Chain A
């Protein structure tokens, strides 16, 4: 226990001693000393900062009591902080000054001569001590003095008593300048300072300088002047020097200009050209014409000066002298020279009326030429040159291609050389303007390449033609085609519609969708006559469905297989089958035709015939309709008299099976009642004649369209294929025996009939009365 108490005691003792030493430390060393006080100014970019505004941190530390220390600054007239240590941050817009001040006073008692309540009005002279820190000005941008000139020049040649006037452009930040004088590089003295007024204005030192003579009078040699200016932060800066040279060697007036010469210009020009040599040290020259000073703007180089004295009277004579001047005065006049101004030009021998103002005058040449001469001695008419031929510099079509029925091209053209007219040829025509911009040609409706040609002309001729083309293409297809073929007549539908009831072929135009469309064919069942159908197509091969895209074609093939022996089967092996043939009109009689019904297989049955033709009102009667094949039917025709002449196709169709046979029916002479008919022919004498006796053959005919032609053949006849106009044929036979003849009759409508005269053959005998002498 005792030991414990001892330890506690020692601990407390140490604690008290430690605390007491701490407190006593301040008091022991007096405290609030300036030696330990620190006042620092920092910015993120250093001090001075690189630029303003800038965030600045002011930190301080002292060993004073808090109420002893006051911080001033931040552009505030009042204390900004009161503490023994701390920091303040604010944004500074320029250089600032901060002060840390400690005021007298007991550590915890009265506040001394500068109580806290009124400390803002305390003077730093009341402080025990103070420390000041600065936020420095940012480095000024290099200041460049420009335009430092003397007498308006960057350098001049000066002479005694030359009045010098200095000027310079003052940049921002300069608050004052001094002008200093150097001779041979040695400082002679200052010409004085000058406060700067508005920034950027010129400084005029002339008032400071007075006359240069007082400055330069004893300062022969190189005289240099330096302008030194100070910036506003109080730091003097020496700026680039600008010098003014002084040339002491030239102190007298220049010598008289030498080499003065004057020369006239070409005829009609009212001036004289002067030139003279440069006089050393001369700064200006004065020209005298006929003894009087004239003001001329001469131009000099390092060697000579030239000037033209204008406005003189043509042919007048003038004398000239020149003096040279500088600051020292003017030289004596140069030697005088004179010359005569050019005379008026002689009139031209030829007045080119085409180019002169009297363009168009022919022969008389009265008037005034372009060059002002009148009454010229000769006159030659020069016809105006033809203008240049126009050139079509551009000719375009827009667009140059498109779809038929849609494209509507616009033509644009430009032509140079002043065309007076343009003409269109090709796929446009007529007179056109001499320029065009997107002249629409209208919608083009033909699939072809359109060529638009243009030629333009003026008085010089016609331009080379120029063409543009527009390619018009067909509209892209929007449809597809489906064809259905069947080997027998049947019915079918495409996609459930578009049905036919009895056909063997049909073509459909369909409109597939953008992604194609499918088409399904369904065909009738023809059982029991046929099996099937078998449906194939040329797109997918087998199958009853195909797909088509625009522009494509597809064909369905429908095949039925006949069932042998079925009477309705068409072309079946073993089933009923037949053919129809005809003998042509006229057999067995005029206006009749025989139809042969030929059995080709199967059980014989009847085939009923029907007639179709292109003859309106054609009447026909058919015999033997119900005859059992094979057999024949005869069809008789009665053609309406109103039927025009011509050849008509008659179609006879059998049922069942729809087998057909066709033949031509020739109509002539106005209807079936007037068909050409050749009935018979006969001889006269009819049955017997003698050798040497005249026999006359004649033909019996009717109908048809006259005139008629006849051609006879037979023994004793010419048989030369010639057509005769007479309907009789006379001859005498020289041989005996039975004679016959045939005759062909042709009408003007082309109908041709013939008949043999066998029935009327004639027997030729020897005349019994004839006796050989």
Chain B
């Protein structure tokens, strides 16, 4: 009888530990459906040392899913779907005193819609957009404003729209 009681006590303890563990796991796990549906291929990265005069700062992971935050210093006025950022970093080019902010994110919009979005933004914000870098069919739009060069490449990858956005800004 005493042995049975001891066994039950152990089983109950195990059950309690399992429940605690489950609750803890459930509270930290992010459902896969909440992740942005982006191309896994482009998320694959390998750590390679940058050029000696280039200092790279990877953006922090945001609190939203597993996406990244915007790189520090990136202008908040530039439209970015921040919930699905898959690549985010800044690189400072000491030789040229310029900073490259690069963001990649997935979008449910079409390439044309995203192109229009950035075309409107850049047009309304005073960017000079050369004709040769404004190709809607290729999802490319690039323009300059003062010492800023904003380049957007929008592609379809695995039936998803992926936006590669780079702002190159000189001090």
With beta carbons under 8 angstroms apart, the residue of A496, A515, A525, A544 that contacts B98 is A515
With beta carbons under 8 angstroms apart, the residue of B50, B164, B168 that contacts A516 is B168
Q: Is B105 an interface residue (CB 8 A)?
A: no
Contact in complex: B139, A547 (CB < 8 Å): no
- Return A563 CB to nearest CB of chain B, in Å: 12
Contact in complex: B164, A522 (CB < 8 Å): yes
Contact in complex: A496, B153 (CB < 8 Å): yes
Contact in complex: B45, A543 (CB < 8 Å): yes
With beta carbons under 8 angstroms apart, the residue of B54, B96, B104, B140 that contacts A544 is B104
A532-B41, A541-B56 known; A496-B46 Cβ under 8 A: no
Mark out the residues of chain A between 525 and 553 whose CB falls within 8 Å of any chain B CB in the assembled complex: 525, 527, 531-547, 549
Chain B residue, CB-CB nearest to A517: B149
A493-B155, A518-B151, A538-B48 known; A525-B166 Cβ under 8 A: no
Residues in A neighbouring B151, C-beta threshold 8 A: 495, 517-518, 520
Contact in complex: A516, B45 (CB < 8 Å): no
Secondary structure at the A interface, as helix, strand, loop or mixed, is strand
Chain A residue, CB-CB nearest to B137: A496
Q: Is A616 an interface residue (CB 8 A)?
A: no
Contact in complex: B51, A538 (CB < 8 Å): yes
Contact in complex: A518, B168 (CB < 8 Å): yes
Proximity string of chain A (484-517) to chain B, C-beta cutoff 8 Å, 1 when within and 0 when not:
0000000001011100000000000000010111
Contact in complex: A525, B49 (CB < 8 Å): no
CA distance A539 to B168 in the complex (A): 14
Proximity string of chain B (133-144) to chain A, C-beta cutoff 8 Å, 1 when within and 0 when not:
001001110101
CA distance A540 to B93 in the complex (A): 9
With beta carbons under 8 angstroms apart, the residue of B46, B104, B166 that contacts A542 is B46
Chain B residue, CB-CB nearest to A499: B138
Contact in complex: A547, B168 (CB < 8 Å): yes
Contact in complex: A547, B100 (CB < 8 Å): yes
Count residues on chain B whose CB falls below 8 Å from chain A CBs.
44
Proximity string of chain B (107-141) to chain A, C-beta cutoff 8 Å, 1 when within and 0 when not:
00000000000000000000000000001001110
- Return B137 CB to nearest CB of chain A, in Å: 9
- Return B81 CB to nearest CB of chain A, in Å: 17
A516-B98, A536-B46 known; A544-B164 Cβ under 8 A: yes
Q: Is B32 an interface residue (CB 8 A)?
A: no
Contact in complex: B91, A547 (CB < 8 Å): yes
Contact in complex: B46, A543 (CB < 8 Å): no
Proximity string of chain B (79-91) to chain A, C-beta cutoff 8 Å, 1 when within and 0 when not:
0000000010101
A496-B140, A545-B166 known; A522-B46 Cβ under 8 A: no
Contact in complex: A536, B102 (CB < 8 Å): no
Residues in B neighbouring A518, C-beta threshold 8 A: 100, 102, 149, 151, 166, 168
Q: Is B170 an interface residue (CB 8 A)?
A: yes
CA distance A541 to B93 in the complex (A): 13
Which of A515, A549, A559 has the most B CB atoms < 10 Å from its CB?
Answer: A515
Contact in complex: A515, B155 (CB < 8 Å): no
- Return A649 CB to nearest CB of chain B, in Å: 37
A516-B149, A522-B153 known; A534-B45 Cβ under 8 A: yes
Residues in B neighbouring A520, C-beta threshold 8 A: 102, 151, 153, 164, 166
Q: Is B157 an interface residue (CB 8 A)?
A: yes
A residues with CB within 8 A of B: 493, 495-497, 513, 515-518, 520, 522-523, 525, 527, 531-547, 549, 557, 559
Q: A496-B138, A542-B48 are known; give 17 further A-B pairs, CB within 8 A.
A: A496-B153, A515-B170, A516-B96, A518-B168, A520-B153, A522-B155, A531-B44, A533-B41, A535-B42, A535-B45, A539-B50, A541-B49, A542-B46, A543-B91, A545-B102, A547-B100, A559-B46
